[in-house]
């Protein structure tokens, strides 16, 4: 069994991270009734004897004493991390796992990447090494950050290169929140494109998400919950957005509901690696099956169902609806329409009381309406995990390597060019030591090359499958 370390960077990264740890604890508490520290919990948590001072308190077996998250929290302002440390999760984090500063990055990628990168490099590395040493077999770093700001975007991507150099065998999965159209940070296109170059070069897998899509999903749930449809009631705690407690219309903090969706995504992604099932899927299999070429590693995700109806007996029709929804553009966590674009590969990670025949039936049913690239017509990867998420009887996470990411990148590039042509706000970046205009031009080139790859793939849509020459052997 392997372990993963979560590195949460910046305000957005830490707020999502906080939701993730809360949900992870609840999930394991629901599954692990006896309070024994087992391999499933050990993937994200250490078991520590708090009476032991210093570093020697790890307990590898037996009853749970005190769980500590395998996490490193990084922010160049103190506000968010301080709030976490005063909240209900304060005991889950080790004070040794935090790196904070006071002034913040001013929504400036260059400050996050160049200034704080060099200032905190050694400290961050030391904390990461410590966290890695506590792992028996570290398999993956999960980085959570936003693209549009300064710390998450700049320092977060600085980390990526460092992780690749220092821990080359460990996978780097990045959850990136992309700026929406109505983003309030003017320089977000600059920050995002500078960050994209790093993601292109140093990430194994990126899960792009945008706030607008998350918001639309929340609205849809609210509508469903409040519509009072005859004969349906939503099970409490079953919303993909719910944190502790029953249905809540207004959340303590504005982004809580949206962050919980991302937290659910990360838990479902790792469920088949942590829990048993009839068809397991480890994290290294995600990269292996879904990334046919190293640079095409952007995976659009969708989580269904958004809520569970209170019916105890779920007939196959409802189950099939879960599969259909996974491919609808309204359920994607990014503004994207995979059904009308081209699939390079698709993973279906199912949790709960679903069997192989259900999977087969639905893949056969949905295949005709989906377009796969000619050289990977059977590009499906599936997994079955026995343990459903809290409050659900079954759920589905779909990961699509699909050309539908392209519009997001194209729009980002356009917004960038609108600013860059006028050199607007550029001086804020260029005055940072180590920053030159070439950083910008290289970043745009990198993105343009990526867009071009997707264009070439799209051009093959609707083309007949080629007759491939066979190698002939002298018999």
Q: Is 382 in the site for another protein (CB under 8 A)?
A: yes
Distance CA 75, CA 103 (A): 10
Q: Which of 29, 279, 366, 426 binds another protein (CB under 8 A)?
A: 279
> 465-469 — which CB contacts under 8 Å span 24+ positions?
465/374, 465/377, 466/374
User: DSSP labels for 318-385?
Assistant: HHHHHHHHHTSGGGBSSS--GGGSEEEEEEEEEEES--HHHHHHHHHHHGGGSEE-GGGTT-EEEEEE
**Do residues 346 and 396 touch, judged by C-beta distance below 8 A?**
no
Ramachandran category for residue 10: left, alpha or beta (phi over 0 → left; psi -120 to 50 → alpha) = left
Q: How far is the CB of 411 from another protein (least distance, A)?
A: 28
Which residue, 108 or 139, has its beta carbon nearer to another protein?
Answer: 139
Site string for another protein, 32-71 (x = CB under 8 A): -------x--------------------------------
DSSP letter, residue 44? T
**Is residue 251 near another protein by the rule CB under 8 A?**
no
Query: Judged by CB, which is closer to another protein: 430, or 449?
Result: 449
Indicate the residue among 54 and 168 with the shorter CB distance to another protein.
168
Binding residue for another protein, selected from 294, 311, 365, 449, defined by CB under 8 A: 294
Choice between 49 and 276, CB closer to another protein: 276
Query: What is the nearest approach in angstroms of another protein to the Cβ of residue 331?
Result: 23
Residue 410 binds another protein (CB under 8 A): no
Shortest spacing between CB 413 and another protein, in angstroms: 26
Of 120 and 327, which has the nearer Cβ to another protein? 327
Tokens describing residue 233: 């009631």
Which residue, 134 or 248, has its beta carbon nearer to another protein? 134
The nearer residue to another protein, 79 or 294, going by C-beta atoms, is: 294
- Residue 181 CB, shortest distance to another protein, in Å, is 34
Q: Which of residues 118-147 bind another protein (CB under 8 A)?
A: 136-137, 139
Q: How far is the CB of 382 from another protein (least distance, A)?
A: 6
CA atoms of 302 and 331, how far apart (whole Å): 6
Q: For another protein, which stretch binds (CB under 8 A), given 55-63, 253-261, 275-283, 332-340?
A: 275-283
Whole-number Å distance between alpha carbons of 111 and 113: 6
| Segment interacting with another protein (CB under 8 A) among 21-29, 179-187, 225-233, 292-300 | 292-300
Report whether the peptide linkage leading into residue 54 is cis, meaning its omega lies within 30 degrees of zero: no
Q: Which two tokens stand for residue 461?
A: 């849509």
Residues 6+ apart with CB under 8 A from 154: 105, 108, 109, 110, 111, 112, 113, 114, 116, 117, 191, 194, 195
Q: Could you say which residues in the range 412-471 bind another protein, by CB under 8 A?
A: 465, 468, 470-471
Helix or strand (DSSP H, E) at 144: strand 138-146
Give the helix ranges, DSSP H, for 350-471.
Answer: 356-366, 406-421, 426-430, 437-459
Q: Which positions from 318 through 357 interact with another protein, judged by CB under 8 A?
A: 345, 355-357
The least distance separating another protein from the CB of residue 154, rounded to whole angstroms, comes to 29
72's tokens: 């490193």
Q: Is 165 in the site for another protein (CB under 8 A)?
A: no
Place of tokens 């604890």: 25
* Interface with another protein (CB under 8 A), residue from 289, 371, 395, 402: 289
C-alpha closest to that of 26 among 187, 216, 263: 263
Residue 122 or 378: which CB sits closer to another protein? 378
253 binds another protein (CB under 8 A): no
| Backbone region of residue 178 per phi and psi (left: phi > 0; alpha: psi in -120 to 50; beta: other values) | beta
Q: Return the number of the residue (132 or 426) whose C-beta is nearest another protein.
A: 132
From the list 55, 126, 276, 442, which residue makes contact with another protein (rule: CB under 8 A)? 276
Span from 142-150, 213-221, 243-251, 283-291 in contact with another protein (CB under 8 A): 283-291
Contact by Cβ (8 Å): 272, 383: yes
| Cβ-contact 399, 346 below 8 angstroms | yes
Applying CB under 8 A, the span of 180-188, 221-229, 369-377, 447-455 interacting with another protein comes to: 369-377
d(CA 355, CA 386): 9
**Of the candidates 381, 175, 410, the residue with the CA atom closest to the CA atom of residue 282:** 381
Among 282, 325, 337, 458, binds another protein (CB under 8 A): 282
d(CA 154, CA 112) in angstroms, rounded, equals: 4
CB of 260 to another protein, least distance (A): 27
Residues constituting the chain? 475
Residue 167 lies near another protein (rule: CB under 8 A): no
Residues that bind another protein in the complex, under the rule CB under 8 A: 1-2, 39, 136-137, 139, 276, 278-280, 282, 284-285, 287-294, 345, 355-358, 360, 374-382, 384, 465, 468, 470-471, 473, 475
């Amino acid at each position: 069994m392997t372990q993963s370390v979560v590195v949460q960077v910046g305000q957005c990264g830490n707020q999502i991270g906080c939701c993730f740890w809360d949900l992870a604890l609840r999930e394991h508490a629901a599954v692990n009734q006896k309070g024994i520290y087992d391999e499933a919990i050990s993937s994200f948590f250490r078991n520590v004897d708090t009476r032991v001072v210093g570093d020697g308190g790890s307990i590898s077996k037996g009853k749970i004493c005190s769980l500590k998250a395998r996490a490193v929290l990084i922010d160049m302002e103190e506000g968010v991390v301080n709030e976490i440390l005063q909240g209900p999760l304060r005991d889950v984090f080790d004070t040794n796992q935090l790196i904070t500063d006071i002034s913040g990055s001013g929504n400036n990628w260059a400050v996050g990447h160049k200034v704080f990168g060099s200032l905190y490099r050694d400290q961050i590395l030391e904390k990461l090494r410590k966290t890695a040493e506590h792992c028996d077999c570290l398999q993956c770093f999960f980085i959570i950050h936003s693209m549009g700001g300064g710390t998450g975007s700049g320092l977060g991507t600085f980390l990526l290169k460092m992780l690749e150099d220092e821990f080359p065998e460990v996978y780097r999965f990045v959850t990136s929140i992309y700026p929406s159209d109505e983003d309030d940070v003017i320089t977000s296109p600059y920050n995002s494109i500078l960050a994209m170059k790093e993601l292109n070069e140093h990430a194994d897998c990126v899960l792009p998400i945008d706030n607008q899509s998350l918001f639309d999903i929340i609205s849809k749930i609210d509508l469903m919950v409040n519509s009072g449809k005859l004969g349906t009631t939503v099970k409490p705690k079953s919303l993909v957005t719910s944190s502790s407690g029953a249905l809540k219309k207004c959340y303590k903090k504005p982004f809580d509901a949206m962050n919980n969706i991302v937290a659910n995504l990360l838990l479902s992604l790792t469920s088949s690696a942590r829990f048993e099932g009839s068809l397991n899927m480890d994290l290294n299999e995600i990269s292996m099956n879904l990334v046919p070429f190293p640079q095409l590693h952007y995976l659009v995700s969708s989580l269904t169902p958004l809520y569970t109806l209170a019916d105890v007996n779920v007939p196959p029709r409802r189950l099939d609806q879960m599969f259909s929804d996974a491919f609808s553009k309204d359920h994607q966590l990014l503004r994207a329409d995979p059904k009308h674009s081209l699939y390079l590969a698709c993973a279906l990670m199912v949790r709960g009381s679903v069997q192989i025949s259900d999977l087969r039936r639905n893949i056969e049913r949905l295949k005709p309406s989906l377009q796969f690239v000619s050289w990977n017509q059977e590009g499906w990867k599936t997994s079955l995990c026995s343990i459903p998420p809290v409050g659900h009887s079954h759920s589905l996470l779909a990961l699509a390597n699909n050309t539908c990411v392209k519009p997001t990148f194209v729009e980002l590039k356009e917004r960038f060019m609108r600013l860059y042509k006028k050199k607007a706000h550029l001086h804020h970046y260029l005055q940072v030591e180590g920053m030159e205009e070439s950083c910008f031009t290289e970043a745009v080139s990198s993105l343009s090359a990526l867009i071009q790859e997707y264009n070439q793939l799209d051009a093959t849509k609707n083309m007949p499958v080629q007759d491939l020459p066979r190698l002939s052997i002298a018999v």
